[in-house]
Amino acid sequence: MNINKLILSAILLPSFAFAADELPLLSKVTETGKVAAGYNKSIECTIYQSKVKLRYTAGFAAVVHEKPISFGGGINFMLSDAKSAILKRNVVRTDSETITYQAFMLNDYGKQETIELGTSVKGTWAIENPSVGANGFRYLLDKLCK
């Protein structure tokens, strides 16, 4: 191996390790139901430890906005509570506006797991997580994702 390539690799590789975005904690996605192409709208809101990232789409255009936050408190308790809840599932129409709430945590193997906090279709729960933790996270998502 060429010594110049080795030196360049030693310089560049550590910087890529820090370029990765932090892992998300919470997510809320609001989408229109089945509509003609170009009439679709969505808001994807992802909460990280230090920021909220909002992605607005309308038709074929998209805008991304970030705002700083400081997330703290009993997050781990709320995640455990939401994860252990028994989900309630209801039959609802699938062609209406849908709001999906999710939380994320690392399992014992370091792999990211998704926790369902609820899915609402036109105001009716298709998937409901009745836990106190899920209720608190949905409240925070509703407040931060405007």
pLDDT tens-digit map of 94-104: 778 999 999 99
Distance CA 118, CA 87 (A): 8
Q: Which residues of the chain have pLDDT under 70?
A: 1-21
pLDDT, residue 72, reads 82
pLDDT in tens, 2-21: 544 433 344 444 444 444 45
Q: Which of 85, 116, 104, 96 is nearest to 46 (CA)?
A: 104
Distance CA 135, CA 44 (A): 19
pLDDT, residue 142, reads 97
pTM above 0.95, yes or no: no
pLDDT, residue 124, reads 92
- Two tokens, residue 108: 């014992």
pLDDT, residue 21, reads 57
pLDDT, residue 3, reads 47
Q: Which of 51, 41, 58 is nearest to 99 (CA)?
A: 41
